[in-house]
Amino acid sequence: MNKVSFAVFKKAGLFGFFVLLALQIQVVRAESVVRVSMLAPSALLWLHAIAEDQGFYKSRSLKIESLVVGSSAALVQSVASGSVEAGIALGDLAIRAIDKGAPIIISGAVLDKTILRLVGAPGITDAKQLAGTNITAGAVEGGTANLLKYQLLKLGVNPNDTKMVSLTNSRDRLVALENGQVKGALLIAPFDTLAENEGMKVLDVYKEPYLQTPLILNKEWATKNREVAKNLTSALQAAARWIYIPGNKSKAISILAKYTSIDEKICEGSYKFIVEDQKAIGKDLRVSTASLENIVKIDEALGAKQTGQFDVKKYYDPSFQSQ
């Protein structure tokens, strides 16, 4: 090779190197940062943990910045105000916020059935023993508190004969059961299994469709950043498909154990209840009409009055999901 051709080769090689570098820079720049509000680690966020572990966010050029908030109300408010772009919220709070004009929309069902189980403290073997005692479901009104009150009604217990105590996460609720601070509590996996292992009894499970945990988006952000919003939704949709594949069972259990810092043996019980028995995770992330309507029915059973006809489209937009 003469000097001229070698020089041309070097220039071409250098040119190719810079082209490749420019493409890499473009890829980095294309990564979208999405801030997502969520509660403390639990099975409520199992799909999020899977999406992180399995690269479902990364493959869609998403970088998720998790903002852990202290209450479900604060979570919905953070999305409505635009402090964050999205959140993994409680269904009934999202519905109430939308009814009040909050600029949010549900794009998918992380949990289309509840994974909360009513657990009695040591010595409590029947729900009727909860009359006259302290109980907890997180907040003291709305949300999971309404679900617990409804369950008590169905079990023949007047909710007004109990005192609701505010304990925002299941880890604290389990401690409260152990030390006698409360006699009944709604617990999220895997803390319900921990309670069972300590001899506590599961008193009830609400098995009907119930949108416990939807993915919610700030409407203005989702309109302006539609592709990013669709990528976020489809990443969790991929996780919902993934967890129902039997061959992924062991890995799914391992992911939950790592995410919650709970022993894998305990998380095996969570998988059995949530995935196999309750089938609580929204299949393909779809929101069933019944899961929204039952939230309204529960509120009505507790004395709330609904105004106007219930319209699913007001709350849920499936167009953010992949086909």
Angle at 22 between CA 19 and CA 229, to 5 degrees: 135
Check whether residue 77 and residue 125 sit in a common domain: no
The CATH number given to whatever domain includes residue 185 is: 3.40.190.10
What is the number of structural domains in the chain?
Answer: 2
Residue 140 lies in a domain: yes
User: Which of 180, 205, 230 is the last residue in one of the domains?
Assistant: 205
Whether 166 and 228 share a structural domain: no
Range of the domain at 187: 116-205
Angle of helix 249-260 versus helix 264-271 axis, rounded to 10: 120
pTM of the model as a whole: 0.84
Is residue 12 a part of any domain in this protein?
A: no
Q: What is the pLDDT along the chain (323 residues), one digit of tens a residue?
A: 444 444 443 454 555 554 455 444 444 447 899 999 999 898 999 999 999 999 999 999 999 999 999 888 899 999 999 999 999 998 989 998 999 999 999 999 999 999 999 999 999 999 999 999 999 998 888 778 999 999 999 999 999 999 999 998 888 999 999 999 999 999 988 899 999 999 999 999 999 999 999 999 999 999 999 999 999 999 999 999 999 999 999 999 999 999 999 999 999 999 999 999 999 998 899 999 999 999 989 988 988 776 567 788 999 999 999 87
> DSSP readout, 93-130?
HHHHHHHTT-SEEEEEEEEEE--EEEEEPTT--SGGGG
Q: What are the strands of the beta sheet with 86-88, ordered from one edge?
A: 62-68, 32-38, 86-88, 209-218, 104-113
Is 223 found in the same domain as 121?
Answer: no
- 297 and 214 together in one domain: yes
Which of 205, 222, 249 terminates a domain? The answer is: 205
